[in-house]
Chains A and B, each alone.
Chain A
Amino acid sequence: MSEWESVIGLEIHAQLATRSKIFSGASTAFGAAPNTQACAVDLGLPGVLPVLNRETVTMAIRFGAAIDAEIDHHSVFARKNYFYPDLPKGYQISQYELPIVGKGHVFISPAEGELKEVGITRAHLEEDAGKSIHDQFPEQSAIDLNRAGTPLLEIVSEPDMRSAKEAVAYARKIHSLVRYLEICDGNMQEGSFRCDANVSVRRKGEQKLGTRAELKNINSFRFLERAINIEIERQIDLIEEGGSVVQETRLYDSERDETRSMRSKEEANDYRYFPDPDLLPVAITDEDIARIRASLPELPEQKKQRYIDELGLSDYNAELLTANRETAFYFETALAEIPTQNAQLANWILGDLTGALNKANLEISDSPISPQMLAQLISRISDDTISGKIAKEVFEAMWQGEGSADEIIEARGLKQITDSGAIESLIDAVIAANPEQVEQYRAGKDKVLGFFVGQVMKQSQGKANPGQVNAILREKLKP
């Protein structure tokens, strides 16, 4: 394995979150009955013509500005010609020679402390195809053209990734970026964010790229990693057995956990690109670019730096909190309630909350514990109403929907005992009941203190303030 190096580039198709399609006034909403959102233009009826949706251009420029890319003043739409039943016109309107977004780059962090730059070759606008459904009818394929004409931003990376892990980190980075920019909802299940991976292998030290296979049909980050790793192994095995890799499109089958050649795309493609005569060149002025640049939200890199510089968070925590827009939003909403407790907040979000969300397979935006609820919980620890240990119990109850932290503390009687008289009497009882341990402690066995703390906490059902228990115990146990 170690003598091989894999080379990976990704083509990401992000559906742009517009109301209407890229070249028609039909709705882009997901899930409508078949062909009810395919208008005359989307169907490619004879005589219809495309008119470009302004918002798609703005969104492409937003993306370009965010990846520090060259944005040309002059951009051209071209026809990519091929026949397929879900491609109504027999050509896809895309961009070829002059895409809106030119060369740019992003930084990825595949592991803690690692930082790697990934080049983006280009990003261009194009229309999505419809859907072919093969299991609707026994003898026929069913064609639904609702998706036809949905705007896509195709983001093409340089072949800069060297492992599946890096490819996933890059894909996650782009996913986060398009959602920060509010240009794509990022829903991979609905196909709003799709990854194709170009994978090749070569012996380490070799300069020339190996023959690549293009992996399609990957609809989660987990499958992306899996599909790439499987493909890398397949290619290495093939070469080691004396074979050679064929340039082809392969489909990842998550059920069988394998990639296989796509018969329908076997034929060598000759797309006959040429400028679409129904559309004119798009003119983009410096003012347009400046205006759009000025409207960009704080991007993950900037946010991360601010968390480090202004909030004093660790690089790692700052990275995790800004990795997606929703987590950062959650953090910032909670932080507004408890501005001085950012470290505790970060720990709760990245620890218990993330754990619970993962277990329940929920997004943070669907968390049953709101940012305000979590903030209240944390402030009850800092004001000594409850201990950190009790807080876990309160968190669990909040997750189960039993109410806010205050309500749960009240209802379950979890308020911490801070009355030193009450604590003293508990301690006195424990000391009286354990003379042997008292002897040991006084003989210099400091560890026994833990036993006493445990006993006192147990007697108090966990509600005694641990700090006070410690201090009073030390005092009372003095020889």
Chain B
Amino acid sequence: MASSVTEIRRGLAAGEFSSFEITQDYLARIAQHNPALNCFISVTEEVALAQARAADAALAQGDAGALTGVPLAHKDLFCTDGVKTSCGSRMLDNFIAPYDAAVIENFLRDGAVMLGKTNMDEFAMGSSNENSWYGSVANPWNSAHVPGGSSGGSAAAVAAGLAPGATGTDTGGSIRQPAALCGVTGIKPTYGRVSRYGMIAYGSSLDQGGPFARSAEDCALLLQTMSGFDRRDSTSAEQAVPDYCGALGRGIEGLKIGLPKEYFAEGLDDRIATVIEAAVAELRKLGAEIRDISLPNTGLSIPTYYVIAMAECSSNLSRFDGVRFGYRCDNPVDLEDLYKRSRGEGFGAEVKRRIMIGTYALSAGYYDAYYLKAQQLRRMIKQDFQQAFDSVDLILGPTTPETAFKLGAKTDDPVSMYLQDIYTISLNLAGLPGMSLPAGFIDGLPVGMQLIGNYFDEAGLLNAAYSYQQVSDWHLQVPEAFQ
């Protein structure tokens, strides 16, 4: 069975199989494996088969778009018209979105088929997918371990071959960290590259959508469809989208890659350091120039991020009040009761913690000490990167400080969970693009390598990852149970 977006496109174009057939194959795999993995919150079989039939008709008429007939899965925070969009929350368990997100519109325009909506940490808040109202997701490499989060369902679905590609969103690492933990390739583009319209907000100034797939080449195809200016999103970048696939294969001879010393310091599992160093050696062989650099404010990125993300989410999630959509508590006695119980019962513990911290950080008397301070540090963190990019083209490091941890290992200690995001979070603060790609294994669990690019240099990132994937086969590994 064809298992990559690239192969499926080729097979469809060559008439080797139909979209209907390949879609049925994936639906069958989902039916077989999802009960154990719990990657999907909704499987949209009827929608998928109808779209696949339409795709086959388009293919027959020679009227195919960039992804016509390719089945994909979408994180359950992209609004999908007529389909439940839960955001992993009890709050939206009954929410049938009345419109399509811009990203979904783009996939429809290009002919893709939707297999279903994937599991996630509630409202994208989490690094393990354990904060979902629909239960945790198993890591396909070892079902006792987490898949990472918040886009854990999408990453695990791609790793287990339940979808050749999937969408995710990344506010502090929510694409890159699960990609690393599940051994797949994922890219978070520059803030503003992909429209946020219809993407249920967590931290508005940090959120960015992006794809998961088995390779950089597949990611390039999916990102091509997702990207572009959208006048409905004021923060969307009014900038032309380059041909990402066309930029692949130009090699990395002479490419200057920086290794931030702070990303290899205390806290990093030594075995991960060894894996990354081996990958760096490969890149050097391909002609890259490796340099040591410093991002001195890396350590501040976690507190800075959490203040900003929690402040923004405390306000973004106020609209979930039980009045116009979503969960409403039974028999509210008055308005305050309606609000408090609808929200108290509709949101899980982590969401409530973050709303409360954000509320506190913005409240009178604390604004300067928390929110304003965090915004100042945010500029300092961005300046670190800007300085680094004066001397290098790309920055490289580990995606995570450790491989996938065990389910339940960190659920009692929110702070230790937050520390998982140490290498990913500062990119969101700076708005920079980054990706994670497989670079090796430790004890049967994948290790992710993170590449960080300059603003709007997704093509450079994808090309470097593609070059590495031409000389490595980590990304081609499939967990035994899902071969």
List chain A positions with a Cβ less than 8 A from chain B: 40, 43-52, 79, 81, 83, 85, 88-91, 141, 143, 270, 272-274, 277-280
Contacts and interface: CB of A to CB of B under 8 A. Distances in A.
B236 to A, nearest CB: 9
Interface in B303-342: 311-312, 314-315, 317-321, 323-325, 335, 339
A270 B198 contact: no
B100 to A, nearest CB: 10
Given A81-B318, A88-B319, A44 B200 contact: no
Given A81-B362, A85-B323, A49 B315 contact: no
Nearest to B123: A46
Contacts, number: 100
Contacts of B317: 90
Given A89-B319, A278-B204, A272 B231 contact: no
B231 A51 contact: yes
A270 B364 contact: yes
B366 to A, nearest CB: 10
Contacts of A91: 315, 318
Given A45-B319, A46-B87, 11 more contacts: A40-B98, A46-B95, A85-B323, A90-B315, A272-B363, A273-B362, A273-B367, A274-B315, A274-B371, A278-B201, A280-B235
B85 A277 contact: no
Interface string B61-81: 000000000000000011100
B234 A280 contact: yes
B325 A48 contact: no
Interface in B274-326: 311-312, 314-315, 317-321, 323-325
B234 A49 contact: yes
Contact of A45 (B98, B196, B335): B98
A90 B359 contact: no
B270 interface: no
13 contacts: A40-B98, A43-B324, A46-B200, A46-B325, A47-B101, A51-B231, A83-B318, A83-B339, A89-B319, A90-B318, A270-B363, A277-B312, A278-B201
A322 B425 CA distance: 61
Contact of B362 (A46, A85, A274): A274
A143 B99 contact: no
B234 A51 contact: yes
Contacts of A40: 98-99
Contacts of A278: 201, 204, 234-235
Contacts of A274: 311, 315, 362, 367, 371
Instruction: Choose among A46, A90, A141, A278 the residue with the greatest number of B CB atoms under 10 Å from its CB.
Output: A46
Contacts of B311: 274
A51 B319 contact: no
Interface size class, chain B: 35 or more
Contacts of A270: 363-364
Given A90-B318, A277-B312, A46 B363 contact: no
A348 B398 CA distance: 86
4 nearest interchain CB pairs? Answer: A90-B318, A272-B362, A277-B205, A277-B204
Contacts of A88: 319, 323-324
Contacts of B204: 277-278
Which DSSP category, helix, strand, loop or mixed, fits chain B's interface?
loop
Contacts of A50: 234
Given A46-B85, A143-B323, A280-B234, A272 B315 contact: yes
B92 interface: yes
Contacts of A90: 315, 317-319, 321
A44 B315 CA distance: 12
Contacts of A141: 335
Contact of B324 (A44, A81, A279, A280): A44
B379 interface: no
B196 A49 contact: yes
Given A83-B318, A274-B371, A49 B85 contact: no
B233 interface: yes
A270 B315 CA distance: 13
B272 interface: no
Contacts of A85: 321, 323, 335
A143 B199 CA distance: 26
A255 to B, nearest CB: 25
Nearest to B364: A270
A41 B203 CA distance: 18
A51 B232 contact: yes
B456 interface: no
B197 interface: yes
A198 B113 CA distance: 59
Nearest to B359: A272
B234 A52 contact: yes
B323 A47 contact: no
B348 to A, nearest CB: 16
Contacts of A143: 323
Nearest to B372: A274
A47 B320 CA distance: 12
